[in-house]
Structures are given as structure tokens and as C-alpha cells.
Structure 1
């Protein structure tokens, strides 16, 4: 027997309960994992509260990422005792996810846990940190160097944003961090490496087609009018890695930044990212994140606390990462 958080739909409302399950309840998969940690992401919060149409079928175990140890394997790439990490692939949405003491998964979805990381650290990074690494790599691939100028991170107090700030600062970039709670989050973002803290309200004002050139690069986790404002302020040959839509999926902008300033808008997807790229990103995270990162910006909770935190994260009341000890 093992316990899991299970979502059901009752009269179009999502109901979350902790249940005792057994191995026969697990969905089909190549590898059975004894889960050590999962984490709570914004998407998980939407799924658990029912505020977003995330879950495709019920009942569903949420949790878009997890780490743990192989308990059974029908795939030669993994053997009993191997430590693995999973993010994306629709897990926690269309296939039972990480908020369970056991998970049955396709081997293709797994990545070996990189040397230098333990399970808790991997989930302090999680989908959010993995996405942040992909964004940083996208900026590097676009030719944005520390010498290019200042890099902006929106939604900087969230999971993706906080890791992006830390990674960029570690790589030598000058980082400006945008947050809706400057007084509360400013000191933390400064510790993570931000040299400038900017109130989010500045970026919620309607953007002109083009504004003063300020940023060499940007990581945007918000979308909508915030992203439009960022694009209007990009330097010539600047690049924006966009990975989120917490502020909305619309984009009230013009083609002006793209055709007059040669700005690149780089879409970053972490869900269906190829395995080789995943392994490279995880290795980069293991090498780049300083020990100090794991001493801040994280809250550890038990499975029984998840529903309360899910409501908080969808209301913007959570700073940094929330890891769930299974």
C-alpha cells in the first residue's frame, strides 16, 4: 500500500483527497518508481484547485515532476536502484504524476539524476528550474553574453524566475528582477544575484510600439502586456526567452521590435523537450547552481499540506520553490 493525492471531478468541480492505493492501481508503464520528492508548480496549483483546465481525465494524481529510485524496470536503460528525475511529458495531466509514493512511467520520460544532486535538490530545481535552464541556454544560443548588457527576468520571485536569476548571475550576467512584491521578495532576489529589483506595475502599463532600449536579453514567465512591454524595451539584436503565461496568453504588441530592432522572441517548451537536451540541461543545473541556492527560496511540505499551498500558489502568495516529501 502507498498513499497518493488523487483528483476527482464531481459536478464539474475538482475534489482532491489523499488515498491509500496499491500497486494494481498504478497506470501502465515501463518503470515503477519509489518517489522520494515531488514539487508544487503553478500548473499543479491550477490542476488541484480546478482553476485551470489542466487535467485531461479523472481520477488523476497531480504532480508534473518527481524524483525517486527505480523499484521495477522492464527497460534495459534503467535498473533497480537507479536514481531518476522526471519533468513534463504530460505527467500529472494525462498520466498519473508525482504526488504519490509510487509512480509507473514510460522509460523515455526519465532522465538519470545527475551526479552532485540528491532527490530534494532535484525537486528544488524541478520543472521550474529545468525550464529556467532551457531559457538561459536559449539566450546563450542567441548570442546574448554578459558583455551584451543587462538581462531582465519577469516573475522573478516564482520558481522559474528565481532559478533564472541565480543561473544568469552565476554566469556573470547583470540581472534585473521584476516582482509584484518588492519589499517582501527584494532581499531574496538580491541574494540570488539580482542587481536591480523592479516593481511589476511598471511593466503592466500599456506598451508603446517601441520604447527606450534597455535590455540585452530577457526571460519572461508572465506573457500578455508584461511581455509586450519587455519587447518594446529590448536592445537592437536582443532576445527574449518566453516560457510562461501567468499574466495571460495574449500578446498586445506590434511587429516593430522584430523588424526595426531585430529582436528575437524565443519560445521555450519544457514538456516535450528531447532527451538529449534534457540531459544537457540537468547537467548544467548540477554544475551551475551554487550551494547557497539550496539554502533559500524553498519550502518543504508533506502531502497533507498540498491543497492549501495549491490555493496559495494560484493566488501569487508563494515565493520560490515548494517541494513535497513523499
Structure 2
């Protein structure tokens, strides 16, 4: 089957310039692996946009096909784990980074990267969640495991993919959610997610230099890092918890130890890339059952492979909202 031809978005580098084009490839062009999947859906994440723009911190060598998410059907599995026709999800690991990803109609990967599609979840729905939804659900999973009080929970970067899902899942579970965003005009968008309290992220700014700030949040899901994260930690109530999964604002954290030693605040790191398999399967089961969101289509834009270039530019410019999924 090595001569099967398929479409893929390829990013090429010529004299330091990067171009994106939908081309025709063959399965023999794919990297080594024991599992071949025919991709039905993928999704666009910020890491994909960086890879598509030539960010060497994400993708070292070009030409390359991005797409850190993929959902589809098994074509061949030499490991014996899956049968032909099984429906699977792939997120994380090296997919779409230095291994050709979900912006192609076929992928070839190690079988251990895939998980079975849970019942009550379609391939399309799994990619509406994708890495963003999985990261959000993993953040909620670990935040609730910290046994925080059922007070007000802050979500930063709330209009992004991870923030949107985290806000919606927490609202579905009955928590009071405060969504912090630079897009506060999107009130209807957040109300549809079940979130009633929306604040401008500027309200979280503080340049007083104080070691601690007034207690506001029983828990925080931070998706952006930087000063928003440090101020959120300083504002977290006694015995509260904060999860951290992103650094789009900054990778630097200007902080002191007082929130941890005087208020007992916990800082929980979230890694959805190398997350161990059992936990990965448990979180996907939550997504497909108790935590499944009713309004998935309301914050989803579906595009073709040929439409991706414009969507990538929107994301790099900070003009993307909700989720973009790709139907292959």
C-alpha cells in the first residue's frame, strides 16, 4: 500500500522563507511506524501554527506536515493492538512536531500513541476537543483532584481552545467560573458555554510588587503563563490550587514563596504531550461521558485542508476564537 496517494499540507523552507501548500504524497513518504491511520478529522492548535510558520523550537526540519491532532480509522497495525477499521484518536507525543501530522490524509506512527475512540464520542467530536480539549480536561481533572473548595474558579486565556473547554467543563460541573480574556465583547460566546462572569484580563494586572494579593479564587486554570499566572497565584485563596499548561504570554514566572508557605497554594503542572496512557484513557472517558459539552458546534469552525492557510494566519495574529477543525 506504499503507493497510495493522498493530500497533505506541506510546509517548505527555501532560503529562510516558509511556504505552505497542499500537495500529493504517497504512504511510502511517511515516517516509520507500525500503525497506519486514515485521518478523517484533525484540528488547528497554536503549536501547529508555529510549526507552519517555521518555528524551529517546534519543528526542526522541513519540509513538514503539521497537525498535532488526528482522528481516523486503522488501515494497518503491525503491533496487533488494533484491527483494521478501528476508530482511534492521536494527540500528543511527537505527532505534527517532527513526525508528519494530521494535516495529511494518512499518518504512520507507533501504535502506543493512539487510544481507542470512546463510546458516545464521534471522530469529529474528538477533534473538536483535540489537544486543547484534552489539555483542558486534564487540567480540570488535576484541579479537582486537589480537593479545592467550590468557590470561584478563574480561567485565563478563556477565549482560546483550552480556556473555552475548561470554562465549559467547570460550568457543566456546577462551578462558578470567571473567564479572563482580552475578548470581553464575546459575552454571548461565554454565556453559551455556561459562563456568566467575564472580566478583561487587564483586571488581573498588578504592578504593586506585593508578595500576596487579596484572596479571590479557590482555584485557577491558567493557559497563558507570565504575569497573569503569577498574579493569579498571589490571589488564590487558602488551600487553593492552580494548574499551569501554557506560556503564550511569557515563560517567565516572577513570584515569591509566600502563596505556597502562607496560604498552602498548590501549583500543578499540566503536560498533555507525554501523559501516561492510563490517565490519557481515563480523561478521554470523562470527556465522552460526564464532562461532555452540549454546545460543541457553537464554538467550532470546520474547514477543508485548502482553507488552513488563512486560519493559521488568523491564529498567529491572535484573531482565532474557539476551535478550528479540519475535515480531510
Note the C-alpha offset of 1:170: 1.2
**Match 1:227 to one of 202, 226, 229:** 229
Q: Which runs of 5+ in 1 are unaligned?
A: none
**Match 2:16 to one of 12, 23, 26:** 12
Counterpart residue number, 1:79: 83
SS of structure 1 residue aligned to 2:72:
strand
CA RMSD for the aligned pairs? 1.3
Counterpart residue number, 1:109: 113
Q: Residues 51 and 186 of structure 1: is their aligned pair in 2 closer, same or farther, counting only changes over 3 Å?
A: farther
Counterpart residue number, 1:134: 138
Note the C-alpha offset of 1:152: 0.6
Q: Distance in 1 between matches of 2:58 and 2:75?
A: 29
**Kept in 1: contact 2:192–2:295 (CA 8 A):** no
**Match 1:236 to one of 238, 245, 250:** 238
Q: Distance in 2 between matches of 1:82 and 1:259?
A: 50
Q: Distance in 1 between matches of 2:55 and 2:75?
A: 34
Q: How high is the TM-score relative to the length of structure 1?
A: 0.96
SS of structure 1 residue aligned to 2:220:
strand
Note the C-alpha offset of 1:114: 0.6
**Kept in 2: contact 1:215–1:235 (CA 8 A):** yes
Matched, 1:312 2:314: yes
Counterpart residue number, 1:283: 285
Q: Distance in 2 between matches of 1:101 and 1:89?
A: 19
Counterpart residue number, 2:123: 119
Q: Distance in 1 between matches of 2:71 and 2:205?
A: 37
Q: Distance in 2 between matches of 1:247 and 1:14?
A: 24
Note the C-alpha offset of 1:238: 0.8
Q: Distance in 1 between matches of 2:184 and 2:290?
A: 26
Note the C-alpha offset of 1:325: 0.6
Q: Distance in 2 between matches of 1:253 and 1:26?
A: 45
Q: Distance in 2 between matches of 1:85 and 1:170?
A: 24
Matched, 1:250 2:252: yes
User: What are the residue-to-residue correspondences of 1:185-196 with 2, within 5 Å?
Assistant: 185-196=186-197
Greater share of residues in helix? 1
Q: How high is the TM-score relative to the length of structure 2?
A: 0.95
Matched, 1:22 2:23: no
Note the C-alpha offset of 1:297: 0.6
Counterpart residue number, 2:296: 294
Q: Distance in 2 between matches of 1:67 and 1:46?
A: 21
Aligned residues, how many? 323
Q: Distance in 2 between matches of 1:189 and 1:51?
A: 32
Counterpart residue number, 2:73: 69
Note the C-alpha offset of 1:56: 2.0
Note the C-alpha offset of 1:123: 0.5
